[in-house]
Amino acid sequence: MSSKLMSLSHAVARFTHDGMQYASGAGLPVGADPVVFGRELIRQNRRHLHAIFHATTQQLNLLCAAGAVDKIECGFSGLEGFGFANGLRRAVESGRVLLEDYSNLTMALRFLGGALNWPFVPATVNVGTDLQFHSAFHPDEPASRRKIPPVTDPFSGREYGALAPLRPDLAAIHVTLADPEGNAIMLGSEWSRFELSRATRRLVLVADALVATDCMRQFPNLVRIPGLLVEAVVYWPFSAWPQASPGIHDGDERHMRLMNEALGTPEGYARYRRDFIDSYQTLDEYLALIGPDTVEKLTATATGFLLDPYRRWLLSRAEIDELLAESDL
């Protein structure tokens, strides 16, 4: 199989378009999420996105502040210990963005339904609450029967909720390790990335580190995303910054706060865009923006031992640059 390595800007140019259903594949709310993919969506002025975010928030917060999103479906929209998401809040409270609420289980079940190509998924949760009765997408329907309509179990006659499957146009999924063919290993909770990788119509991986394929052959049970599902692999260390990537780096607490505070106002967002979105062209410029001291500090994570079994297969920067030059993308 040939290399699927591609630059970030090329992947966004090739696989995204205005108005698409864009899913982010990530860990939990302040966990591993390809935030840098969202920065690039903004750099390329993507608009009217229908965002499918299971629970991670800082990228969604940013896309909302940028005015790039019209609709959201998610299970959670906060920054946990870092508070409420200011950019998302402004967008939702003003009615500029419609947010359809589900729970963290029902988002995973909807990906499962999409992956299996089922007509609906029966649910024992969300029913009986305003998650079932209210729809931001269909606000005029009292006790909405379109969002989670009741469905009868043909065996028992009991009533359950029917969840609509999700099949996003594109998922950009954060993985810790990928080989150039797109076989991938995630460290930390996989959250819903396994189901999403099967539900999405197209899949781009954003990897913290690249390894030789021999690594995947050593740990095939841990390769939950095989390359045959993958369109492109983007190599981008610290793609989750300022959030954390278990085994690779800690979250940047200072920048989490700075970013969320900035996204609270249009002026703050404009400054943030100038300083942290439009201010780099290359990976090295991006890492310089985070700062070498911060990179070093965050890399000294107590979770670093999780990477130990894989270190002998890590590709060097020179090897990666050579592969990228060959792919010419």
Tell me which residues in 23-62 interact with another protein (CB under 8 A).
27-31, 54-55
Tell me which residues in 278-317 interact with another protein (CB under 8 A).
301-303, 305-306
Read off the tokens for 252.
């940047």
> Contact region for another protein (CB under 8 A) — 155-163, 174-182, 286-294, 307-315?
155-163
Q: How far is the CB of 132 from another protein (least distance, A)?
A: 9
Give whichever of 124 and 221 is closer to another protein, judged by the CB atom. Answer: 124
Residue 209, C-beta contacts closer than 8 angstroms, at least 6 positions apart: 176, 177, 178, 235, 237, 248, 307, 310, 314, 315
Contact 101, 129 (CB under 8 A): no
Task: Pick one of 22, 160, 269, 310: the residue that binds another protein (CB under 8 A).
Answer: 160
> Contact region for another protein (CB under 8 A) — 22-30, 169-177, 269-277, 319-327?
22-30
Q: Characterize 36-68 residue by residue with b for buried, 16 or more Cβ atoms within 10 angstroms of its Cβ, and e for exposed.
A: bbbbbbbbeebeebbbbbbbbbbbbbbbbbbbb
Q: How far is the CB of 318 from another protein (least distance, A)?
A: 29
Task: Pick one of 244, 262, 277, 283: the residue that binds another protein (CB under 8 A).
Answer: 244
The Cα-based distances of 128 to 121, 124, 136, 148, 229 in angstroms read 16, 10, 17, 10, 37
* Residue 128 lies near another protein (rule: CB under 8 A): yes
Q: How far is the CB of 116 from another protein (least distance, A)?
A: 12
Contact 295, 287 (CB under 8 A): yes
Read off the tokens for 77.
């929209």
* Residue 217 lies near another protein (rule: CB under 8 A): no
Q: How far is the CB of 88 from another protein (least distance, A)?
A: 7
Phi/psi for 144 (5° steps) reads -45, 135
Task: Pick one of 189, 279, 282, 299: the residue that binds another protein (CB under 8 A).
Answer: 189
- Helix, strand or coil, per DSSP, at residue 193: helix
Tell me which residues in 2-21 interact with another protein (CB under 8 A).
none
Task: Pick one of 194, 236, 272, 286: the residue that binds another protein (CB under 8 A).
Answer: 194
Read off the tokens for 44.
């390329």
Q: Characterize 84-122 residue by residue with b for buried, 16 or more Cβ atoms within 10 angstroms of its Cβ, and e for exposed.
A: ebbbbbbbbeeeebbbbbbbbebbbbbbbbbbeeeebbb
* Beta pairing partners, 187: none
Q: How far is the CB of 269 from another protein (least distance, A)?
A: 17
Q: How far is the CB of 64 from another protein (least distance, A)?
A: 10
> Contact region for another protein (CB under 8 A) — 174-182, 189-197, 262-270, 281-289?
189-197
Tell me which residues in 63-122 interact with another protein (CB under 8 A).
74-78, 80-82, 84, 88-89, 92-95, 99, 101-109, 112
* Residue 321 lies near another protein (rule: CB under 8 A): no
* Residue 169 lies near another protein (rule: CB under 8 A): no
